[in-house]
Amino acid sequence: MPEPILPPLHPELRFHNYASFLRRRLGGPAARISVDGGFTCPNRDGAIGVGGCSYCNNDAFTPGIRFPGLPVAEQVRRSIHAPGRHHAYRRFLVYFQKFSNSYAAPEELRRLYEAAFSHPDVAGIVVGTRPDCLGEPVLSVLSEVARNRYVCVEVGLQSMSDAVLRRVNRGHSVDTFVRAVSEIRRRGIDVGVHMIYGLPGDTRERFLSAAPFLSRLDVQGVKLHHFHVLGGSAMEEAWRRGGVRVPGYDEYLSSCVDFLERLSPEIAVMRLMGEAPEHLLIAPRWPKGPREMASDIAVELSRRGTFQGARREGGSGGRKRHAGP
């Protein structure tokens, strides 16, 4: 008889899902609401580079932001009270999503982050940013906010290869990412990491190597995305010329399962698939979305008789456990 699988793995999913993580972190369920803080990106305005990442079109984030252009406090208020899927929640995380959300003067960051807490049901903030936008002044502001409220910083790594990062005009190195994560964690702030499978020039093996790498870095969450081509991105033209390929659904699913088997079960899986608005997405066009992907990954883990962390380096050595919620 197999040994029981213990929390934090979800009993049906067989991986550590983000909803369970938030319930433990915040004392109950929470919903994210995305806001536009009016930020830009140093890889676009010349501070680091121009043109931005070649796969990126930040307009792809806009549909998740319901009231762009309004002050942050008003975006939060309207998002919480708008009809829809948030009505069942009493606890919210405000997600600063579009562009690099720590790329501003400290006093401006402090003003924007504090504005997110203007509604009493906001339990914390999530700041999406780049590893080269986390200098000491920024970290000091984040630490101030985190003294009494929940803060998570989502940092884009995307690839384990500096050569691939250069090819997609990312503008930072893997070492820059490592230093940024170390400084965030030294202040006791949670870290989520973004990884992309299938970037031009990258390999499946390198993608899988990120799982043990991140497990050693003491990060709290990971978002997995597949490489997709967006209209208006620099990558669009290369794809139309046949110069880049996009992954297939089954290829990506299998790679995600292999990744999860190598990832520490303590790390929450925040996302398993990228999304883009219909009018911007060029390729790949899969018939299934994020919910189906998560379900299919759970089915494949079950078929293999495995789970998140089963093949982790120095971990359980494949010893099966029974999952808890």
User: What is the Cα–Cα distance from 6 to 4, expressed in whole angstroms?
Assistant: 6
Mean pLDDT by runs of 10 across the 325 residues of the chain is 69 96 96 96 89 86 84 97 82 96 98 98 98 98 98 98 96 97 98 98 98 97 97 93 96 98 98 93 96 98 96 62 38
Residue 260 lies in a domain: yes
What pLDDT, on a 0 to 100 scale, did the predictor assign at position 322?
A: 34
Question: How deeply is 188 buried, as exposed, middle or buried, from its count of CB atoms within 10 A (0-12, 13-18, 19+)?
Answer: exposed
Residue 320 lies in a domain: no
What Å distances lie between residue 209 and 88, 105, 114, 172, 202, CA to CA?
A: 39, 36, 38, 19, 12
What pLDDT, on a 0 to 100 scale, did the predictor assign at position 1?
A: 41
Query: How many other C-beta atoms can be found within 10 angstroms of the C-beta atom of residue 257?
Result: 22
What pLDDT, on a 0 to 100 scale, did the predictor assign at position 4?
A: 57
Residue 132 lies in a domain: yes
Residue reference for tokens 């309004």: 70
Looking at residue 214, which CATH number applies to its domain? 3.80.30.30
Query: Which pTM was predicted?
Result: 0.93
What pLDDT, on a 0 to 100 scale, did the predictor assign at position 321?
A: 40
Residue 197 lies in a domain: yes
Q: How many domains does the chain have?
A: 1
Q: Containing domain of residue 112, as a range?
A: 18-304
Residue 321 lies in a domain: no
Residue 316 lies in a domain: no
Residue 12 lies in a domain: no
Residue 194 lies in a domain: yes
